[in-house]
Chain A
Amino acid sequence: MSGHSITEPTRRQKWIAAVLVIAYTVIILIPLLWIISTGFKSPSDAISYPPKVIFTPSLEGYVNLFTTQTRITPDMEATLPPPETWYERLVREKGMVIAGPSRYGQRFLNSVIIGFGSTFLSVFLGTLAAYAFSRFRVPIKDDLLFFILSTRMMPPIAVAIPIFLMYRQLGLSDTHLGMILLYTAVNLSLSVWLLKGFIDEIPREYEEAALIDGYTRFQAFRKVVLPQAAAGIASTAIFCLIFAWNEYAFAVLLTSGEAQTAPPFIPTIIGVGGQDWPAVAAGATLFLLPVMIFTIMLRKHLLRGITFGAVRK
């Protein structure tokens, strides 16, 4: 039908639109491609002028990212056994030796633990609350929902002061549990609002049929509503995970060692004389790439979730 509609754009219009959109896309993707390519440059290629698009790939950035190194004198080098692995050889060529692993792996693992932990909790609690708000007569429902939403308006730095004090008292500062609880609380407002929208769309009749069949309310929720809401729960989970993965303000203020995530750590990667850009780029690539792949793979859910979440509110 719509193919013959008079509102359908003409071929020429489509062409112009496509060219403009593609041009914009190419331009905005350059910084991202630059991050990925800088990770494979040698330090001198990374800061050469004019900027190098074609270069001999090097894994120096990745080696620097994962190791700490110390400089050695030629005399000392003579006493050492020859390097065994390719990365030892790479480091030795610069007159350095590997002193040990860097903290990047640990910071990345922290991001994974805190990201998945808080996502699980905020989706779990959010689903329960959303179901209750969607289906039951809850007193002062609108006020509660608005209260939940309004918690998102607070600047993180503003709440960070008392949370900093509170966590210090409770022994939660710089712990995984503390960060998981914090990110859960921040994500809950989004998760409740998104999920309420998804659950509102599921016809009540399904559950009511189940109730008449002798299911308890809880069974009806678990066996009828949850499977129906699975797609919505999945896209909510993606949003919560991306938020927790990317969060910086709380992480930088409330964690320093044990539970520090990757975003505050990556900018602190330094080499000799300033930031070691290939190592920073390597760290950024490993950290950003999962999100990029995720976004491309799950685009349907994600794009729907963004507009849905915003437009519902």
Chain B
Amino acid sequence: MTRKMADRLAEATPPGIARKIGGLSDRSLAWLFIAPTIFLLLAINIFPLIWTIRLSFTNYRVNRVNADVKWVGLRNYERILTDPDIWQTMQVTAHFLFWTLFFQVLLGFALAWLINRKFRGNDLWTTLIVLPMMLSPAVVGNFWKFLYQPQIGLFNYMVSFVSGVDPASFSMIGSIDLAPWAIVIVDTWMWTPFVMLICLAGLRSIPDYIYEAAEIDRASKWRQFWTITVPMVLPFLMLAVLFRGIENFKMFDLVVQLTGGGPGSATEVTSINLKREAFEKWRTGYASAYAVILFVTIFGLASIYVKALNRVKER
């Protein structure tokens, strides 16, 4: 009622008077409020993006100021898409993405489900579990390098304590086979709490009466879990996967500090590869094309995923 009245009042007031009363009309206030944000995003996000796209068609190199900048058309794109090294990098990224999401969903959902048993003090434990994801990935990743040292590292010591393997016999970050798992472990350690929190929000959004109704229908706990809990939490879980997926596709800080992409290129995820091209080899044009391809890939995958998510939500 009130809203309608206010709207009608606003409409009935001639613009001149409205301006005098309000100091500013709603429309100019709206633009005044939004403009700085849009301006800053245009300047620091969109303008650089357009510049990247432009550079991606050239052979520009930052470290050769006097060299001629030539238009090379689509040649950078062609070279990237046919480069076996880049496909190797993509595989490393895919491995990292798949297994981090797998473990984080599994552990995150299990933890949320357990915490939702509402035992006493669960608030405190939730807070402590969340700690790793609040910390700087670069600083923490660097320290994990210490935990992973063969012989003296705590991780190796604990593995050997549990399994009896000699702690000096394996190196998590020094071996081509183990290094991809080393980064999966640290990322899972760090980000499982995020998935857990989103799942917890999902679990808490299920009203009790649904379970009560199922109980009256004599549905078993097992059946209730699969027909009520899982479908109701699924949209939340999918959202968590979307956010973690985007973040891990861009993953840089944790891995660069932990393994630096090595040994060899065993953990060279796309961002590290891109950084090498752009800031070590200084192939600016080539790296720009690479950046555009990555952005389009993330954006494309995310859009497809969001469509699927909306379909799940509608059900």
Q: Which residues of A contact B (CB under 8 A)?
A: 2, 5-9, 13-15, 17-18, 20-22, 24-25, 28-32, 34-35, 38, 47-51, 125-126, 128-129, 131-133, 136-138, 144, 147-148, 150-166, 181-182, 184-186, 188-189, 192, 204-205, 208-209, 211-212, 214, 216-218, 242, 245-246, 248-249, 252-253, 262-264, 266-267, 275, 277, 280-281, 284, 287-288, 291-292, 294-296, 299, 302-303, 306-307, 310-311, 313
Contact = CB atoms under 8 A, between A and B. Distances in A.
B126 interface: yes
A217 B151 CA distance: 67
Interface string B124-138: 011111111011111
A30 B154 contact: yes
Interface stretch (B84-92, B140-148, B173-181): B140-148
A126 B37 contact: yes
Interface in B279-315: 279, 284, 287-288, 291-292, 294-295, 298-299, 302
A207 to B, nearest CB: 9
14 contacts: A14-B117, A20-B114, A21-B115, A32-B132, A128-B34, A129-B33, A150-B299, A153-B246, A185-B44, A246-B139, A248-B138, A248-B257, A284-B139, A303-B126
Interface in B1-49: 2-3, 5-6, 9, 21-24, 26-27, 29-34, 36-38, 40-41, 43-49
B119 A17 contact: yes
Contacts of B198: 306-307, 310-311
B170 interface: no
A50 B288 CA distance: 48
Nearest to A289: B135
Given A157-B252, A158-B274, A248-B253, A208 B2 contact: yes
A188 B143 contact: no
Contacts of B129: 21, 24-25, 28
A277 to B, nearest CB: 5
Interface stretch (B73-81, B95-103, B235-243): B235-243
A133 B2 contact: no
Interface centre among B41, B149, B212 (most CB of A within 10 A): B41
B62 A295 contact: no
Contacts of B57: none
Nearest to B153: A51
A155 to B, nearest CB: 4
Nearest to B251: A155
Interface of B: 2-3, 5-6, 9, 21-24, 26-27, 29-34, 36-38, 40-41, 43-49, 51-52, 55, 62, 107, 111, 114-115, 117-123, 125-132, 134-140, 142-144, 146-147, 149, 151-154, 157, 167, 189, 194, 197-198, 200-201, 208, 211-212, 215, 236, 239-240, 243, 246, 249-250, 252-253, 256-257, 270-271, 274-275, 278-279, 284, 287-288, 291-292, 294-295, 298-299, 302
Given A32-B131, A155-B250, 17 more contacts: A6-B211, A15-B119, A20-B114, A25-B125, A49-B167, A51-B154, A128-B34, A147-B41, A153-B302, A185-B41, A185-B45, A246-B139, A249-B252, A266-B139, A267-B257, A284-B143, A299-B130
Contacts, number: 315
Nearest to A30: B154
Given A132-B33, A157-B271, A216-B22, A28 B132 contact: yes
B111 A24 contact: yes
Contacts of B38: 129, 144
A287 B62 CA distance: 34
Contacts of B250: 154-157
Given A132-B29, A217-B22, A288-B136, A204 B212 contact: no
Contact of A133 (B34, B143, B152): B34
Nearest to A126: B37
A35 B143 contact: yes
A166 to B, nearest CB: 6
Nearest to B144: A31
A221 to B, nearest CB: 8
A161 B284 contact: yes
Nearest to B270: A155
A192 B256 CA distance: 30
A138 B6 CA distance: 18
A287 B31 CA distance: 39
B48 A162 contact: yes
A216 B129 CA distance: 46
A155 B37 contact: no
Contacts of B149: 47
Nearest to B117: A17
A65 to B, nearest CB: 13
B295 A155 contact: yes
A168 to B, nearest CB: 9
A77 to B, nearest CB: 31
B50 to A, nearest CB: 8
B190 to A, nearest CB: 9
B261 to A, nearest CB: 13
